[in-house]
Amino acid sequence: MNLPTQLQIGGKLLNANLKQAWRDKTDWITACMFAITALLLYSFAFNLTTGLVSSLLPGVIWTVFLFSGIFATGQSFQQDRQNGILDALKISPIHSMTIYIAKTLANILMLLLIEFGLLLGATILFSEPLFTLELLIIVTIGTIGYTALSTLLSAINLDRNNGGLLLPVLALPLLVPLLIASVEATSASLQQEASTTPWILLLSLFTIWSTAIATLMFPLAD
Amino acid sequence: MAIETNSLTRRYDGLPALNKVSIQITPGSRIALLGNNGSGKTTLLTILSTLLQSSEGSAKILGHDVSKKTTALQNIIGVIRHQPMVYENFSPIEDLELFAKIYQVPNNRERIERLLTSVEIWHLRDEMIGTFSRGQKQRLMIAKALLHRPKVLLLDEPEIGLDQDGLRVLDQLILTNAAEEESTPITVLAATHREERVDTWATGFVRLERGRVIETSLGEDAL
C-alpha cells in the first residue's frame, strides 16, 4: 500500500480514535479531574503575594501535565485489545506505524485540549500570563514528545499482568530529559529576561528523538 | 494449495502448543478443525492469520508466506476470532465503513448494506455495537470477515453465541459460500466443537490432539 493511501487510511483511523475517545470518556475525564484538582490544590498551597510563584509554576505545570497525560494515554491500546480491534487492524493491510501514529495523534490532540484549558485556568488562579504563544508552542512540543513515548509504552504494557503500573515505572526515567527541557523552556519563557531559544531547541531535539524511536519501535512492541 | 503448512511448530515457554503440523488444503475446500480444548486449533489459526509467529516450520496461504505479513496476503484472508473484533462504541455502519476504507472496498456502501442485510442485522445498523448480544456481534463479525471478499476464511469457533437462525446465516454465507457472488469459491478452515454440525458444511477435517495432527480427511467427498 503506497504512502498517500496509508495517509488517507491514517486520517480515517485518527478520526475513529477521536470518535472512540469522545464517546468513551473514562480516561479523559479521569485526567481532567486529576489536573483540575492538582491545580486547585497548588493554588491554595502557594502564597500568591510573595512573588515566588512564577519560579515554581514550570514545575507545577509539567507535573500536572505529565501525570494527567499518563492517566489519559496509559490505557490507549487497552480498549482496542479488549474489543479485538487491535487484532482486526493488525490483520488488515494497514501498516503498524500508521496504527501507532493515528493513536498518538489522537492522544496528542485530546491532551492539548486539556492542557490549553489548564493553562487558561492557571492564568486565572496564579495571576500569571500563562496563555502566551510562546508557552503554547513549548507545551505543544513537550506534549508531542511525551505522548509519543507514553503511547508506545501503553502498547508494550498490553499483555502484562500488572495493569497500568508498568507504564509510569518505564515512562518516568525515559521522560526525564524531555521534562527537564520542558520545565527549563517554560521557566525561561516566564522569566522574560532569559532566552527560551536554546531550551526550545533542546526540547524539539528530544521530541524528534522520542517520536522517531517510538514510531520505529511500535511494530516490535507486541 | 490454498493453505499449506510444513512442520509448523509453536512453543510457549519451551512447551509445544503446535507440534510439526503439516497440512495441505486445496482451494475451495471447507475444512473443519477439530480437537479438544488446548489441542492447538486457535494457535494454528492465529499463526495463519499473521497474528503470531511460528517457532519452526512454515505456512503459506495461496503461495504467500504468512510470516511475511504482506498486504497481498492480508487482502485475501478473512478472520473470525473468539472475541468480536469491533469498536464497541461504534454502530455497525461506522465500524464496517472504517474497515471498508482500510481494505479499499469498492462501492462500500452497497457492500455494507448487502452484508448487513444478509446477516439480518440491517435494522440495527445505527445502534451502538456495545449494546448487542453475543449472537448479534457474531453476525456482525460474519459480515466483517466477508467485507473485502477474501479468498480464504480462517474461523475460530464461528458458531459461538449464534441461535438457530444465526447458524443458518453462518451456513449460508460462509460455510457453504452460498451467498458469495464470486465464481471461485472461498476456502474455509474453521475450528469447531460442534462436531454434529460438521457434515452439513465441511468437505473434510483435520483433528488435532496436544498440538499434533492425529487424523485428517481432506478429500472432496470425505464426509
Q: Provide, as residue numbers in chain A, all residues whose Cβ is less than 8 Å from the Cβ of B71.
A: 1, 93
Instruction: Give A86's contacts (C-beta < 8 A, 6+ positions apart).
Output: A77, A80, A99, A158
Q: Does A11 touch chain B (CB under 8 A)?
A: no
The whole-chain average pLDDT of chain A stands at 86
**A99-to-A180, B102, B136, B150, B209 alpha-carbon distances in Å:** 29, 11, 27, 22, 37
Size of chain A, expressed as the number of residues it contains: 222
Q: Does A205 touch chain B (CB under 8 A)?
A: no
In the predicted structure, residue B194 carries a pLDDT above the cut 50:
yes
Residue among A5, A82, A92 whose CB faces B99 most closely:
A92
Residue among A9, A13, A88 whose CB faces B85 most closely:
A88
In the predicted structure, residue B170 carries a pLDDT above the cut 70:
yes
Domains in chain B, start-ordered, CATH in brackets?
3-217 (3.40.50.300)
Cell of A147: 505522548
Q: Which residue has the cell 472475541?
A: B83
Q: Does B89 touch chain A (CB under 8 A)?
A: yes
Residue among A23, A82, A93 whose CB faces B103 most closely:
A93
State the smallest CA–CA distance between residue A35 and chain B in angstroms.
Answer: 26
Q: Which amino acid is at A207?
A: T
Question: CB–CB of A9 and B89 under 8 A?
Answer: no
Question: CB–CB of B87 and A9 under 8 A?
Answer: no
- Give the model confidence (pLDDT) of A94-115 as tens digits: 999 999 999 999 999 999 999 9
What band does B176 get if pLDDT is binned at 50, 70 and 90? low
| Overall average pLDDT of the A28-42 stretch | 90
Lowest mean pLDDT of A27-36, A41-50, A139-148, B173-182, name the range: B173-182
Q: Does B164 touch chain A (CB under 8 A)?
A: no
Please count the other Cβ atoms lying within 10 Å of the Cβ belonging to residue B159.
18
In the predicted structure, residue B57 carries a pLDDT above the cut 50:
yes
Question: CB–CB of A93 and B83 under 8 A?
Answer: no
Complex-level ipTM? 0.91
Q: Which of B144, B124, B145 is nearest to B133 (CA)?
A: B124
Q: What pLDDT, on a 0 to 100 scale, did the predictor assign at position B2?
A: 92
Q: Does B138 touch chain A (CB under 8 A)?
A: no
Angle between helices B108-118 and B92-102 in degrees, nearest 10: 130
Q: Does B108 touch chain A (CB under 8 A)?
A: no
In the predicted structure, residue B65 carries a pLDDT above the cut 90:
yes
What is the per-residue burial (b if ≥16 Cβ within 10 Å, else e) of A177-191? bbbebbbbbbbbbbe
- Give the model confidence (pLDDT) of A85-98 as tens digits: 999 999 999 999 99
Q: Does A9 touch chain B (CB under 8 A)?
A: yes
- Could you give the number of structural domains in chain A? 1
Range of the domain at A122: 3-220
Supply the DSSP string of A37-92, one letter for each residue: HHHHHHHHHS-TTSS-HHHHHHHHHHHHHHHHHHHHHTTTTHHHHHHTHHHHHHTT
Q: Does B200 touch chain A (CB under 8 A)?
A: no
Tell me which range, A71-75, A170-174, B106-110, is most confidently predicted by mean pLDDT: B106-110
The Cα–Cα gap between B6 and B37 comes to 23
β-pairing, B56-61 vs B204-209, is unpaired
DSSP letter (8 states) at residue A134? H
Q: What pLDDT, on a 0 to 100 scale, did the predictor assign at position A52?
A: 72
Question: CB–CB of B98 and A88 under 8 A?
Answer: no
pTM of the entire structure?
A: 0.88
Size of chain B, expressed as the number of residues it contains: 223
Cell of A62: 509539567
Question: CB–CB of B101 and A12 under 8 A?
Answer: yes
- Give the model confidence (pLDDT) of B123-145 as tens digits: 999 999 999 999 999 999 999 99
Q: What pLDDT, on a 0 to 100 scale, did the predictor assign at position B179?
A: 47
